[in-house]
Amino acid sequence: MLEMIKEPWPWYIAGPLIGLTVPALLIMGNKSFGISSSLRHICAACVPANVNFFKYDWKKETWNLFFVLGIFFGGMIAANFMLNPTEIMVNPNLKTELAGYGITDYSNLVPVQLMNFQSVFTLRGFIMMVVGGFLVGFGTRYAGGCTSGHAIMGLSNFQWPSLVATVCFMIGGFLMANIILPMILSL
């Protein structure tokens, strides 16, 4: 059983499980799924400044904070106790392309040559981690939610803004993966 949990789950199992969170949350109290809103709740709870954006009853959203805490601890448990010792399977064509950029270590979920503390102090690492993190945060705030909130919850509720946001997320992802990332990796 534990070996099955360590392996990646196919889309036809993982997708419906993620999708079933939407009706479960709606049935359990008309709750809305989204991860980025929890940062707002944390800020409202910890920094009760005189900022209108943080003036609301964040205590009604405590369940969301526990949900995100569960994601965090679940990730920690998986990363420390459920690692699959085999190398991550990567398409041979992609391996060849990435080797041209100096990326050859697939022992972690994210290539060590890209994401490590020392690479923050390089131009490539700074662009990928600091600038990328800023753009993700800015985009999340500008779009009024993150990919999980829009693509999972918003689309299932037939919200037009979520459809627009999800299409823009996908276009941005394709542009990043096929045009911008190769330029950054060649730095």
Query: Could you read off the pLDDT of 100-126 as tens digits, one per residue?
Result: 888 888 877 788 888 888 888 989 889
Q: Is residue 20 included in any domain, yes or no?
A: yes
Contact 135, 176 (CB under 8 A): no
Mean pLDDT value of segment 85-112: 84
Place of tokens 């534990």: 2
Per-residue DSSP letters for 113-148?
Answer: TTSSGGGGGSHHHIIIIIIHHHHHHHHHHHHTS-HI
Record the tokens describing residue 119, joined without a space. Answer: 């690479």
In terms of residue numbers, what domain contains 61? Answer: 1-83
* Residue 66 identity: F
Residue 101 tokens, joined? 């950029």
Q: Per-residue confidence at 1, pLDDT binned at 50, 70, 90? A: low
Residue 109 lies in a domain: no
Which of 44-53, 92-101, 146-155, 173-182 is the least confident region? Answer: 44-53
pTM assigned to the model: 0.74
Domain count across the chain: 2
- What confidence tier does 59 reach under pLDDT thresholds 50, 70, 90? confident
Of 65, 83, 101, which one is at a domain's C-terminal end?
83
Q: Token pair of 183, please?
A: 């330029």
